[in-house]
Amino acid sequence: MTEEDDHLALEAIEVDLFIEAMLRRYGYDFRDYGRTSLTRRVRNLAQQFGTGTISALTALVLHSPERIGEVIGGLSVPASDFFRDPAIFRALKAHVFPVLASYARITIWQAGCARGEEVYSLAILLKEAGLYEKSRIFATDISETSLASAQEGIFPLSDMRDASRRYFESGGTQSLSAHYHARYERAKLDRGLIDNVTFAEHNLVTDGVFCEAHLILCRNVMIYFNDRLQARVLNLFADTLVRGGFLCVGDRENLRVAGASLFRPVEGAPSVFRLRSPVEPP
Ligand SMILES: C[S@@+](CC[C@H](N)C(=O)[O-])C[C@H]1O[C@@H](n2cnc3c(N)ncnc32)[C@H](O)[C@@H]1O
């Protein structure tokens, strides 16, 4: 065994013990997260906390419940963008909005909302389509620090230039700047965009159904999960959606085997799927 192999074997044990500590002490279950990227994040966290080793990080975490928010924040990857992958928003507008419009009230769940860029992007498009007023959007995440930041609705003004281009590519019909106020290098989103949004902690690994939704967006979250956890989450989504409800995932995600029996792709709408009816052939 080379020194490198020995180091990796030791690190694998340390990560196992860290995961066990998070589960037994705080109830956070990371056992079914993809191991390579989780290991990278645990390593970064040890560096951020200045503990040197992952074992020392585990000891610190076990004895510091007051830092658990910071730990979860460090393990989650809140990377997002306004109107990320515009083709998907265009597809939602063209294929999903007309169906949503037929409901008296619309319920949308955005799972893994990070700092809110995606939920505000959706809110803007719903508003421009005249659907926002009758919508209730639940935006959830595992990280309370991300949720607190999302709730503020304040973003660097420098993000808005590229966002404006993607807004038009997504089918935006006004001007993105009509939806925020610029002040001191910051963009504060119109408070009206938050009125119908409820931000809440929800862990896709352990929490259950809490609403009946017409549309669920869960983009770039399941990529961090192994096949077993993806299957659990897809079943949770199927149980949450109304008959014929829609699921939108990230552009690099396919629904693999578990998803294919529950959802069918919507023709012409990349990354958008529809719940199969129980009698529909797979
Ligand atoms: C890369 S971001 C995706 C943000 C946004 N959906 C997008 O596509 O731009 C992944 C988010 O998933 C959240 N997440 C990770 N594990 C989760 C879990 N078990 N339950 C809920 N959210 C989770 C992270 O905290 C992070 O905010």
pLDDT digits (tens, 9 = 90+) for 117-171: 999 999 999 999 999 999 999 999 999 999 999 999 999 999 999 999 999 999 9
Q: Find the helix or strand (DSSP H, E) in which 88 lies.
A: helix 86-91
Q: Is any ligand 1 atom within 6 A of the Cβ of residue 142?
A: yes
Arithmetic mean of pLDDT over the chain = 94
- Amino acid present at 224: Y
Reported pTM: 0.95
Q: Is any ligand 1 atom within 6 A of the Cβ of residue 265?
A: no
Both tokens of 33, joined, read 């997260």
Residue 216 alpha carbon to ligand 1 centre in Å: 14
Q: Is any ligand 1 atom within 6 A of the Cβ of residue 114?
A: yes
Domains and CATH numbers, the chain: 3-75 (no CATH), 86-275 (3.40.50.150)
- In the prediction, which pLDDT does 282 show? 61
